[in-house]
Chains A and B, each alone.
Chain A
Amino acid sequence: MMSEKYVSPDAQARVERLVAEYREQKKALRFLDSNLWVGRPMQPGFCLRWDLEALLGYMDRYAIEGGIVTHSAAAMEDPYATNEELLDWIADQERLWGGLVVTSELPPGYSTWGDYLDRAISRKARLVRLFPASHRFSLERWCSGALLDALHERRMLLAVWHIETGWNAIKMLCDTYPDLPILVEGRPQKIVYHNRFFYPLLERYPNLHLELHNLNVYLGIEDMVGRFGAEHLVFGSCLPFNDPNTAQMMVTAARIGDSAKRQIAHGNLQNLLDGVMVP
C-alpha cells in the first residue's frame, strides 16, 4: 500500500498550490453565511463542538466573516425560550445575527406578531425559519396569515426547507407576499432533483432565493446565474452540520463574473439584512 511518504514531490507541490489558491479565493470573497447553527444536536455527527466559541472558531478557520445563526434546539423544543437564549448569546457578537424558529402560534406574553418580531429585530434577529410539516401547521392565511403579514411588513427573511413545505406552498408564499424575501434551503435533502420545480419559480419571483449548502446541481450555479441573474443565490453553509467548503467552492470556482461571485458570497445576503425594517 502506498503511504503518504511515497507521494511524489510534484504531486504534493501541485496540491499545495491548489490549496493556497483556493484559500485565497475564499478569503477574497468575504463569505456571509445565512445558515449557521449553534447548540448540541440530537443526531450524531463527526463534529464534536457546537458552542458559540467553537462556531466563531470555525468561521475564522473557513473564512466566513459573519452570518445568521439559529439555535439547534429551536426546531425540537420550545422555540420561544431557545430563541431568547440565542439572542442573549449573540448580543455582543458583531459578526452574528439571529435566526428564529417560530410556529403559527403567537408567542406567550405577546398580543401581536408585530410586537414579538420588533423586539426580536431590535435584539438582532433578522430571519425566521418555519417547519410547517414537523410542527404541524399550515402556511395558508387561515392559519399563518397574521405571522406572514407581520414578516412581510418588516421584510424579514423567511427560510424554509422544501421537504417541510412542498413547492406549491413556496409558490403561494411568493405570490401572496411579494416583498417578503423567501430563502429555500435544501435540508436535509439536496435539491439537485428539484430543478423542474424551482426553475419556473425563479423565472417569476424576484423575492425567491436559493441557499447554497445543498444546491449541488452539476453546472447549476453557472446555469442559474445565466438564466435568472445572481440575485437569487445566497451563500449558506449549514455549519457545523455540513462542511462549509461544499458551498464555498461552488462559488470560488464558479465560471461566472467576479461581481456575481461577490453577490452570491455576501452581497445578496447583506442586501437582505439591510432590507429588514428595524424598529
Chain B
Amino acid sequence: MIVDSHIHLGMGVSAPCVDSSVEAVLSLMDYLNVDLSISTGFPLMFGRMDEGYDKAVAAYQSSGGRILSCAFYNPHYPQEDLEWVRRCLDHEAFVGIKIHPPLVECYGHDERWEPIWRLASELGVPIVTHSWWVSDYNPVQRYATPDQFEGYVRAFPDVNLILGHAGGRYEGHRAAARLARSYPNVYMDLSGDSYSFGLVEWLVGQVGAERILFGSDLTMIDGRTTMGRVLDADVSAAAKALILGENAGRVFGLEH
C-alpha cells in the first residue's frame, strides 16, 4: 500500500494551483501508484465547515474511498469546532485530526489545544500537526516547533502525533527526531519542501523507518519531489515500504 498522508484538496490563494480538482489528484495518484491519500481540505482549514465537510465526503465517494480526510480544529472556536470534529469523524471518510498552530497563531503547547487532544484520545484517532522551525522570512512558523508538543505527547500517550514536514528545516528536523526518540507516539511526515540531502537516511537512522510517513503537500507542492527521495534513498526496500504506506496504514487504521 502506498499512501500520501499529507494533501490538501482545494486551492490556497497564496499558492497558485494548476488544477485543484479531485480528478486531477486521482489521476496523479494513479500515475504514481499511490493507493490512498489523506487530505485536509482548504475549506475546512479556513472555517468553511459545511462546504469542507461536503467536499471531503464527495471526494471520498467519487474516489471510491481512496481520498480520505482529516477534520480540522481551530482552538479559537472550541465549542463549534469540537462539534464539527465529532461530526466529521462519525463519517468513514475521516481518519484523523489536523491542527496548524501557525495558521491560527496559537503555540503548540498552549492550553487551548487541550480539548482536541482529549477528543483524539476519546475517539482513538491521530493528530497531524504542521511543524517547522523558527524562520526569519516566515515568522509565524515559531508557533509550531516540535518541542512545543512534548507536554501533550506525554500527557496523551494513547494519541499518535504526526509532525507534518518533520520539523521543516535542519534544526526542526533535529528537534522532531529528539521528540520521536523520546516518545513512541510521535511520527513525522516528509511532506513539503524539506529537501536536505541525506535527510531521509538521517531520519531513518535516528528514529527508524517505522516512524516516518510519505506525504506531498498537494495541491501546493508536487509529490514527485518527495517520492523520488524515498525511492532512491540509501535505506532498505522494507524501510521504503514502511515509509511509503505501511506506517500510514497502521497509524490511520487504513485498509486497501
Q: Do A and B come from one complex?
A: yes
Q: Is B198 touching A255 in the complex (CB atoms < 8 A)?
A: no
B195 touches A242 (CB 8 A): yes
B222→A45 contact, CB < 8 A = no
B232 at the interface (CB under 8 A from A): yes
Picked from A26, A46, A196, the residue with its CB within 8 Å of the CB of B16 is: A196
Q: Are B14 and A19 in contact (CB under 8 A)?
A: no
Given contacts A4-B236, A19-B240, A23-B232, contact A214 B195 (CB under 8 A): yes
Q: Which residue of A lies closest to B170 (CB)?
A: A44
- Is there contact, CB below 8 Å, between A242 and B196? yes
Q: For the complex, is B254 an interface residue (Cβ under 8 Å from A)?
A: no
B229-A246 in contact (CB<8A): yes
Determine if A46 and B236 form an interchain contact, defined as CB atoms under 8 angstroms apart: no
Tell yes or no: A172 within 8 A of B by CB. Answer: no
B89 at the interface (CB under 8 A from A): no
How far is the CB of A212 from the nearest CB of chain B, in Å?
A: 10
* Bound-complex Cα distance A145 to B212 (A): 51
Q: Is the CB of A249 within 8 A of B193?
A: no
**CB of A199 to closest CB in B, whole Å:** 8
- Mark interface residues in A232-250 (1 if CB within 8 Å of B CB, else 0): 0000000111111111111
Contact of B22 with A by CB under 8 A: no
How many chain A residues touch B (CB < 8 A): the figure is 56
A8 cross-chain contacts in B, Cβ below 8 A:
241
Q: Of the candidates A2, A23, A220, A252, which one forms a contact with B210 in the assembled complex, judged by CB atoms under 8 Å apart? A: A2
Q: In the assembled complex, which residues on chain A have CB atoms less than 8 Å from the CB atom of B170?
A: 43-46
* B152 at the binding interface (Cβ < 8 Å): no
Task: Give the shortest distance, in Å, between A90 (CB) and chain B (any CB).
Answer: 20
Chain B residues with CB below 8 A from A220, complex form: 18, 222
Q: Can you list, as one digit per residue, whether each of B203-231 has a CB less than 8 Å from chain A (1) or not (0)?
A: 00000111000001011111111111101
**How far does the Cβ of B20 sit from chain A's closest Cβ, in whole Å?**
9
Asked if A76 is at the interface (CB within 8 A of a chain B CB), the reply is: no
CB nearest neighbor in B for A45: B196
Name the segment of B56-64, B120-128, B243-251 touching the other chain: B243-251
Smallest CB–CB gap between A228 and chain B, Å? Answer: 13
Q: Which of A7, A46, A189 is most buried by chain B, counting CB atoms within 10 A of its CB?
A: A46
Cβ of B237: which chain A residues have Cβ within 8 Å of it?
A: 12, 15-16, 19
Do A195 and B245 touch across chains, with their CB atoms under 8 A apart? Answer: no
Shortest CB–CB separation between residue B132 and chain A, in angstroms? 13
A245-B198 contact, Cβ under 8 Å, with A12-B238, A214-B193: no
Chain B nearest Cβ from A152, distance in angstroms: 31
A2 touches B197 (CB 8 A): no
Let me know if B77 is at the binding interface, CB within 8 A. Answer: no
* Identity of the chain B residue whose Cβ is nearest the Cβ of A245 in the assembled complex: B228
> Is the beta-carbon distance between B195 and A243 smaller than 8 angstroms?
yes
Q: Does B19 contact A (CB under 8 A)?
A: yes
B252 at interface (Cβ–Cβ under 8 A)? no
Q: Does chain B have a CB within 8 A of A217?
A: yes
A253 within 8 A of B: yes
Assembly CA distance A243 to B208 (angstroms): 20
- Contact check, A22 vs B232: say whether CB atoms are below 8 A apart: yes
Report B64-100 residues with CB < 8 Å from chain A CB.
none
Option from B2, B209, B225 in Cβ contact (under 8 Å) with A4? B209
Closest residue of chain B to A241, judged by CB?
B197
Query: How far apart are the CA atoms of A223 and B202 in the complex, in Å?
Result: 34
Q: Could you list which residues of chain A lie within 8 angstroms of chain B, going by C-beta atoms?
A: 1-5, 7-8, 11-12, 14-16, 18-19, 22-23, 26, 43-48, 62, 189-190, 192-193, 195-196, 213-214, 216-223, 239-250, 252-255
Binding site for A on B (CB under 8 A): 1-2, 14-19, 24, 28, 31-33, 137, 170, 173, 184, 193, 195-202, 208-210, 216, 218-229, 231-232, 236-242, 244-247, 250
> Which 5 A-B pairs have CB atoms at the shortest separation, nearest pair first?
A249-B228, A46-B198, A245-B228, A4-B238, A219-B18
Between A and B, 25 residue pairs with Cβ closer than 8 Å are A2-B246, A3-B208, A7-B246, A14-B241, A19-B240, A46-B198, A47-B198, A48-B198, A192-B193, A193-B14, A214-B193, A214-B195, A217-B18, A218-B17, A218-B223, A219-B28, A219-B222, A243-B196, A243-B229, A245-B228, A249-B225, A249-B228, A250-B228, A253-B227, A253-B228
